[in-house]
Amino acid sequence: MKEIRWIKNNMPKTECPELDIMSEANVAKARSFHESFPEYSKTPLAKLNHLAEHLGLGGLYVKDESYRFGLNAFKVLGGSYAIARYIAKKLGKDISEVPYHVLTSEKLREEFGQATFYVATDGNHGRGIAWAANRLHQKCIVHMPKGSTENRRMNIAKENAQVTIEELNYDDCVRLANEEANRCENGIMVQDTSWEGYVEIPTWISQGYGTLSAEAKEQLEAYGVKRPTHIFTQAGVGSFASSVHGYFVNQYPDNPPRFIVVESLVAACLYRGALAGDGKPRCVGGSMQTIQAGLACGEPNLQSWEILRSYTDVFAACPDWVTEKGMRILAAPLKGDPQVTSGESGAVPLGLLYTIMTDPAYADLKAELGLDETSQVLCFSTEGNTDPDRYREIIWDGRDVIMDDYFTDFE
């Protein structure tokens, strides 16, 4: 069984102007937009009192995104906000002038016209973009990487999107979608990663993700928690993790929580950057076959990297067995704790936390993070059972659907 890899962040610290992306004011705009949706409600923050006691923690909380807009994942928050911001900008309007009922009106459609939104995805991001485009009467073309499941493809196709599974990895699907968007009249790339010349839309996506962080802060306070001491965030390109880190650093600038970034072992580009230690991003290539499909991204969002390298305490790279452990724990909680249906990319933070607290092999990581009976720990379950067949294989049948056996050591 492959081991968890982890490293303390020893990269040089610099000023981080990107932190303003996740300011209170910017997140409030995004949240106000999301609250205009008829499907909007806060997703639950599961309070796992008995598991916290079992692990020797002061408190343990899991934000359950399986309830988000009926789409079983958080990604729609970023995609819908980015599309709305793009349309508002094209019309010379502020985002506050285009809430859901305006965006979906025939008047706005006549004013804006027809666009085609392009996206690369393992499933959740593309489904969110397709869902939003469908409601706005716009077109959507989606490319999925090699190894994507038919269930996830069909979920996107149900939203009237054109969707294909390519013989390419995720990062090459991003390039393909971008090339097609550039060739298409009124084609727009909506991706949660940035590169030179492509920054604005990824910024809006990160701000859209801020809605769930703002909800979680309020919910923690309702539970009597003034400040989380530790936050575990999963990462693919890093957009979600940097959104969470940026938001909570802005909330607690003098005493931020300790941040742990969790990646799939086979796609751990952020871990590899921390391992190099010079502050420069690194990439991972290859097919990156892992059940943690939402994290199978080998090239970091360069804008997100600046936040993550400045404020992350520990980077961890986890084999598939870690997320399977997390899925099973959340699906069969200790008596009295709420159940959380968490998918393969949603449960890896909880799986890592549990392993740190129970396996003596990771006692040094536990000590490094200062996890003890005073700790108030926040995790995010970013998706539910987005692939029901695989979820049942893992939870019902007890099958280890581990796909990272080809992995070779980091150089």
**What's the CA gap between 404 and 56, in Å, rounded?**
31
CB contact at 8 A, 216 and 378: yes
Question: What amino acid occupies position 353?
Answer: L
Phi, psi of 146 (to 5 degrees): -50, 135
- Is 338 within 8 Å of 46 (Cβ atoms)? yes
CA–CA distance, 210 with 399 (Å, rounded to integer): 35
d(CA 147, CA 182): 26
Chain position carrying tokens 């392009």: 118
Please tell me which residue in 75, 139, 325, 366 is annotated as part of the active site: 75
| Residue 143: CA count within 13 A, CB half-sphere | 23
Whether the Cβ atoms of residue 383 and residue 294 lie closer than 8 Å to each other: yes
CA 188 – CA 288 distance, rounded (Å): 27
- DSSP, collapsed to helix, strand or coil, labels residue 280 as coil
What is the distance between the alpha carbons of residues 71 and 58, in angstroms, rounded to a whole number?
Answer: 32
Catalytic residue, candidates 63, 64, 122, 171 = 122
Tokens of 182: 């550039």
Instruction: Decide if 129 contacts 83 (C-beta within 8 A).
Output: yes
Is 75 annotated as catalytic? Answer: yes
Give the residue numbers annotated as catalytic, written as ranges.
Answer: 75, 122
